[in-house]
Structure 1
Amino acid sequence: MSVFKKLFKQTFIYGLATILPRILAVILVPLYTTVMLPEEYGIYSTLMAYLILGNVLLSYGMETAFFRFVTKDSLQQKIVQSTTITSLTVSTLIFLGITLLFTNYIAEVSEFRPEYVTYGLLILALDALVVLPFVWFRVNEKPMRYAVVKILNVVINLAFNLFFLLLLPKLAETSSYWNSFWFPENKVAYIFIANLIASAVTLLMLLPLYVKIGFGFSKTIWKQMMKYALPVLIAGIAFSINEAFDRILLKYLLPENVAEVQVGLYSACYKLGMFMTLFVMAFRLGIEPFFFNHSDHANAKNTYATITKYFTLFGCLILLVVVVYIDVFKRILIPNSQYWEALKIVPLILLANLFLGIYHNLSVWYKVTDRTKYGAYISVFAAIVTLVLNFVLIPMIGYMGSAIATLAAYGSMMVLSYLYGRKYYDVPYEVKKISGYLLMAIGFSAISYYAFEGNIWIGTALLVVFIGIMFYSEKNEFLKILKK
């Protein structure tokens, strides 16, 4: 029993520390959309998309490789640690040195202000330098230290955002000293400065681990790790394309006079999909260890099928709740009405993230059968879908094309994982019942939002009907679970 208690405790702590940065992103949306124009928010969102891709490239799969090799041979733990930290440090410093020399050129090509590029490069480097220390905490089962540093990063970032965007303008009105630090036409810079400060403080807190681990290098081990890390890198690039590349493509495929505004509108309303994202992430963090620990049980496949059904049920419920009460959520999270014209993407983004969550459930087949290469194949296929549909649809229908591309990409991942899973690890999913719940939730969402233009009374009635049908269909199983 103590093992399960320990697992639950660590899962909860790691989950909290992982989800908090996402929650911060949601908390900051009302602030950003209030103080910034859509075009300013568009600049910020596009830069953040580049950072997501940059983070994957600069860690180049070494995080996962470190996990694999540091537990593979206890005699080589020390050299694996020192080789990994040396590799990441050297590659990061080389990257930073070269890119800073070409800041103006990068700014010209990417059409960003040079200072934004500089901030972005520094943030990328600082974040890359803390990859191994955080992995070290996890390998050595130090969840509290991991969580404390992560949470402090979030607190510092939030504090400086509030200072720069809310307090500093007021101080500038009353003091010539503070006025010299306030540039209202350049609010985006303050967001990245806040991020930069938080990343720098995080690295300072983790520097003692560099001393503890020490630098060293084994060419043989490094080659083995890189061979293992390459497929992880490819899958990471593919996933970052699915997650964030649409903002970049919107910026460069739309006419220059509207591109940044459209990116800002799309990115702000996309955040309403975070309700589903947080649910998916929290569920994944808690259930993945269970999948592995339960794989040898006689009834494992039936258990996986039940979990997937109930995940879909609660996901459908979240989809309906957000769509039905979108007028309430938009006033809380996006108080600036200039952004509301893009709300039509929200049902698509919510459904896309639900499909992604179902995919994570279905992906148990390649994880427990050691066929992880199929995960990379599926992610790459989805990235191709994302790129092709964005290139085709953005010039025709703008950001709605990006929303459709996201839905198609995650939907294809879900379908492919299910089809491959039937071949290699056939789980008896209740496909008809799951499909029925999905179709009902999609239909009710479409009726509520598109047919009746978000009428809250009709939406609430549909939500009640859905809950009633769900409870009636599942009440016997619900009661069994509660009695256990």
Structure 2
Amino acid sequence: MNPLRKLASQTAVYGLSSIIGRFLNYLLVPLYTYTFPAREYGIVSELYAYAGFFAVLLVFGLETGYFRFSNREELRSDTVYSTALAFLILANLAFVSGILIFLEPLAALLRYSEHPEYLVWFGAILALDSIAALPFARLRAENRAWRFAGIKLIEIVLAIGLNLFFLVYCKKAAEVWPNSPIARLYDPAIGVGYIFLANLAASAFKLLLLLPQLKALRYGLDFRLLKRLLAYSLPMVIIGFAGMVNEMLDRAILKFLLPYDPATNLRMLGIYGACYKLSILMTLFIQAFRYAGEPFFFSYAGRADAKHTYAVVMNYFVIFCVFIFLVVTLYIDLFQYFIGAEYREGLHVVPILLLANLFLGIYVNLSIWYKLTDRTLMGAWVSLIGAALTIGLNIWWIPILGYVGSAWATLACYAMMTIISYALGQYYYPVPYPVGKVAGYLLIGLLLYAGHKDLVESCGWTSWIVGSACLGFYVLIVALVDIRPLLRRRQPA
């Protein structure tokens, strides 16, 4: 199969689980935002922000390390996998034990003394998901995309079902039939904790489905190999952690930096967190691409046309990301109904966050230079520069601009990381990326968004009609510039 077709088909399969599954999960956002006030939803946004950091720390970069070492001829793939998996299990058991031991001071520090159980549930979720990360990586390495997608979908469907069971069925039973057995399962004091319980149950069931991949533990733990794995992979933790700083820090610190009272700060956090969800389509595509792209980049690196192929991949990646940007921003009047009315005052941050995530996707493409040249430590420095910029700008802008400052800080960070990574990549692993075309598509997307906004606000034109015209114009440009020449080259002489 043509390598680009293979990458596209696997991206589609991974995207099937990500986009369909997480879109279904995304449909829970209306449930949350129509059920809980913004102040309570702020708790969900904050804790999931913390979870993002620990999800990186507790995997130790071993997914990428496994891909790198399992492709080396002198090493047995099963031994590499079992060594990494055994270490992950031991490390995550230690993590959960630490939470249980220091639960009270930890809950007091995070201002959750009334609900310390939230932290226990989150610790268990993080441990289960971190252990599952390597079996999923093995499925990716074996090109078993459909099994990967199936398990992901089952997990998400179960989580959705349990959310609906607790927050709709049990809650309704408690109101209408207070003495029924179902009603006893609902305690209003738990509140948003039911979201966490549903996630915990789904994560546990997912690990059960991955038991066939856990049987490889029989190959044991090679300590010498583990040292080599960690030497390669730990810089990826720095990269991933810095990435989480860029992606999640705003929601983790907003309640501490916003210049209002604690209740208002949590409300603002809830609004920002809900509006962040509206950029989910971009995030889902980038995640699906990353699942398929990472093993593809490694396996294709030895080909003579590898660099040309990477350049082509970048071009079509940006084309599709700009399309997503336009779909969401041009039809924001429709997308806004996915969140409750109280949350819609923050819609103006959505275009900023979409553009930020677009630059993140470009950076993901560019990151092959340090992975393929084993310069992961240099990649870590790029991420650390981005993290430092994120921290500084959030501290500076949040007290002045509120959560809008967080959105601009995210965009500034990813744009800067993209520029630095491109410059370093052209020195250490030069790829002939079509910079002019990529910049052109970005500029066209921004001009169409600005033109649509001006025509709707200043001239009073119908939003969806203008949006459809703008989107059609973009598709026409793509067809003329990229699709038509591609079809001509494929025609027989």
TM-score by length of 1: 0.89
Displacement of 1:322 after TM fit?
1.6
Instruction: Give deviations 1:314-345, integer Å, cap 9, x for gaps.
Output: 333332332121111111x11x1100011110
Q: Percent identity?
A: 41
Alignment partner of 2:185 out of 181, 185, 189: 181
Q: 1:437 to 1:72 in 2, by over 3 A?
A: closer
Q: Does 1:50 align with 2:31?
A: no
The equivalent of 1:65 in structure 2 is 65
Cα distance in 1 between the residues matched to 2:11 and 2:439: 30
| Contact residue 86 and residue 215 of structure 1 kept, 8 A | no
Q: 1:322 to 1:107 in 2, by over 3 A?
A: same
Instruction: Give deviations 1:217-245, integer Å, cap 9, x for gaps.
Output: 33222222221221111111111111111
Amino acid at match of 1:400: V
Instruction: Give deviations 1:190-225, integer Å, cap 9, x for gaps.
Output: 100100111111223334544452373332222222
The equivalent of 2:266 in structure 1 is 260
Q: 1:316 to 1:138 in 2, by over 3 A?
A: closer
| Contact residue 351 and residue 407 of structure 1 kept, 8 A | yes
Q: 1:3 to 1:281 in 2, by over 3 A?
A: closer
Q: Does 1:457 align with 2:459?
A: no
Cα distance in 1 between the residues matched to 2:416 and 2:199: 34
Q: Secondary structure at the match of 2:221?
A: coil
Between 412-421 and 290-299, report the one with greater CA deviation.
290-299
The equivalent of 2:395 in structure 1 is 391
Matches within 5 A, 1:40-439: 40-72=40-72, 76-112=76-112, 113-172=115-174, 173-177=176-180, 178-214=182-218, 216-254=220-258, 255=260, 256-287=262-293, 291=297, 301=307, 304-331=310-337, 333-334=338-339, 336-439=340-443
Alignment partner of 1:478 out of 471, 476, 483: 483
Displacement of 1:30 after TM fit?
1.3
Amino acid at match of 1:361: N
Amino acid at match of 2:319: L
Q: Secondary structure at the match of 1:169?
A: helix
Displacement of 1:16 after TM fit?
3.0
Cα distance in 1 between the residues matched to 2:432 and 2:280: 30
| Contact residue 280 and residue 357 of structure 1 kept, 8 A | yes
Cα distance in 2 between the residues matched to 1:229 and 1:144: 27
Q: 1:306 to 1:59 in 2, by over 3 A?
A: closer
Query: What's the C-alpha RMSD, in Å, of the aligned pairs?
Result: 3.0
| Contact residue 448 and residue 470 of structure 2 kept, 8 A | no
Q: 1:459 to 1:364 in 2, by over 3 A?
A: farther
| Contact residue 11 and residue 293 of structure 2 kept, 8 A | no
Displacement of 1:426 after TM fit?
4.2
Q: Any gaps of 5 or more consecutive residues in structure 2?
A: none
Amino acid at match of 2:274: A
Cα distance in 2 between the residues matched to 1:26 and 1:316: 21
Displacement of 1:168 after TM fit?
1.2
| Contact residue 255 and residue 269 of structure 2 kept, 8 A | yes
Instruction: Give deviations 1:4-63, integer Å, cap 9, x for gaps.
Output: 887666554344334455334422111111111111111011111111111111111222
Displacement of 1:70 after TM fit?
3.6
Between 464-473 and 276-285, report the one with greater CA deviation.
464-473
Amino acid at match of 1:116: Y
Cα distance in 2 between the residues matched to 1:8 and 1:148: 18
Cα distance in 1 between the residues matched to 2:76 and 2:444: 54
The equivalent of 1:468 in structure 2 is 473
The equivalent of 1:32 in structure 2 is 32
| Contact residue 17 and residue 149 of structure 2 kept, 8 A | yes
Cα distance in 2 between the residues matched to 1:236 and 1:224: 19
Amino acid at match of 1:418: Y
Q: Any gaps of 5 or more consecutive residues in structure 1?
A: none
